[in-house]
Structure formats: structure tokens, C-alpha cells
């Protein structure tokens, strides 16, 4: 992290309404939890998303979210396992920083594509094992076909997103 840029980002964050930022973090975390993500992981992810650098130490996360370092550790373990956050060592320090991946949503959906491929393969095998003509086998085959269709649609959508993203300015230019 460039300390000059980091200092500028922290100054900009200090000017924000901390209570409003906290409410946003908790609201978005609740939305993600409702969708199935672990509660603490949702809160840590939302806090990183709301940080200008998309990067915080364990101590910064614990302070911002008013949670224990153990809760941060568990949440970060989950987020790194699902490839949404990476751990970086601060130069000249023993402290780790946790950072969101660039293009986080693209990366997340791309990794889900690999999961769908495994599920599709397993379901096709299950359909053969159960017999394609049995009700359970037919259900497995239909589910595999759904995942195959979904993957082809997601691949096209991701290509369209890349093209669309090129027309946008992220991050917005600073004046």
C-alpha cells in the first residue's frame, strides 16, 4: 500500500459520517447473510468493501466492527477460503492486511463457475448411476442440464460485463 495514497484515503474516510457508514456496512452484511453467507464474514467483507483502500488490518476490522480479533480471524479464514479476500504482509511489519480482490464480483462469479462444473459432472454421473430412465436419474440429468445452461449464460454475461466495464470509469478519476 502506498502510504501517501493510504493517508489520503483515510482522510477522506474521516470526513464521512461514521454512523452512516456503519449502518451501510451492517445493512449490506445483513443482505449477504440473508443470502447465505456467514454473518461475521459478511460484516468483514462489507467493511472492506466500504474502505477506500479495500484493505484493513485485523485490529482495524475489530475496531470498526466492534468484534473480537478471534471473530475477525474466523471471518477472514472463510473469506480467503472462498477466494474473496487475500492476506498481505505489510512491508517491514509483522501485521497482515486483508484486501478484497480486484474486480471482486467478477472473480467471485468466475470461481462459482468452477463449482458449477464440478456439480454438473457429479450430477451427470449420478444420473447414469441411478438410471436416466428413473425419476431420480431424470431429475439429476435435468439439474445437470440446468447448470450447463447456466454456465453458458454466465460466461456470455461475464464477457458482456468486461466490455461494458471498459466504457465506465472505475475508480472515478480524482480531480
Mean pLDDT of 85-110: 82
Of 107, 59, 53, whose CA–CA distance to 80 is shortest?
A: 107
Tell me the H-state helices in the chain: 3-14, 18-34, 39-50, 58-65, 69-81, 104-130, 135-166
> How much is the pLDDT for 78?
93
Cα dist. 82→36, 112, 115, 128 in Å? 13, 9, 11, 30
Task: Please count the CA atoms within 13 angstroms of the CA of 5 that sit on its side-chain side.
Answer: 8
pLDDT of 126 higher than 80: yes
d(CA 114, CA 121): 11
pLDDT-derived band at 168 (thresholds 50, 70, 90) equals confident
d(CA 45, CA 25): 9
Say which residue, 67 or 83, is predicted with more confidence. 67
d(CA 121, CA 105): 25
d(CA 108, CA 82): 8
What cell does 31 get?
443482505
The residue length of the chain stands at 175
pLDDT digit string (tens) for 61-76? 999 999 999 999 999 9
> How much is the pLDDT for 8?
53
pLDDT digit string (tens) for 39-56? 999 999 999 999 999 999
pLDDT digit string (tens) for 17-35? 999 999 999 999 999 999 9
pLDDT-derived band at 13 (thresholds 50, 70, 90) equals low
Amino acid at each position: 500500500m502506498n502510504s501517501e495514497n493510504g493517508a489520503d484515503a483515510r482522510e477522506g474516510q474521516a470526513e464521512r459520517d461514521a454512523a452512516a457508514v456503519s449502518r451501510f456496512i451492517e445493512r449490506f452484511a445483513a443482505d449477504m447473510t440473508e443470502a447465505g453467507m456467514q454473518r461475521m464474514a459478511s460484516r468483514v467483507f462489507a467493511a472492506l468493501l466500504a474502505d477506500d483502500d479495500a484493505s484493513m488490518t485485523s485490529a482495524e476490522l475489530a475496531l470498526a466492527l466492534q468484534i473480537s480479533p478471534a471473530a475477525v480471524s474466523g471471518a477472514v479464514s472463510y473469506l480467503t477460503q472462498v477466494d474473496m479476500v487475500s492476506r498481505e504482509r505489510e512491508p517491514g511489519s509483522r501485521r497482515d492486511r486483508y484486501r478484497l480482490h480486484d474486480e471482486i464480483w467478477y472473480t467471485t462469479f468466475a470461481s462459482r463457475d468452477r463449482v458449477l462444473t464440478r456439480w454438473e459432472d457429479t450430477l451427470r454421473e449420478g444420473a447414469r448411476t441411478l438410471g436416466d430412465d428413473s425419476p431420480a436419474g431424470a431429475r439429476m440429468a435435468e439439474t445437470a442440464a440446468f447448470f450447463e445452461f447456466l454456465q453458458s449464460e454466465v460466461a456470455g454475461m461475464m464477457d458482456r460485463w468486461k466490455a461494458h466495464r471498459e466504457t465506465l470509469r472505475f475508480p472515478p478519476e480524482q480531480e
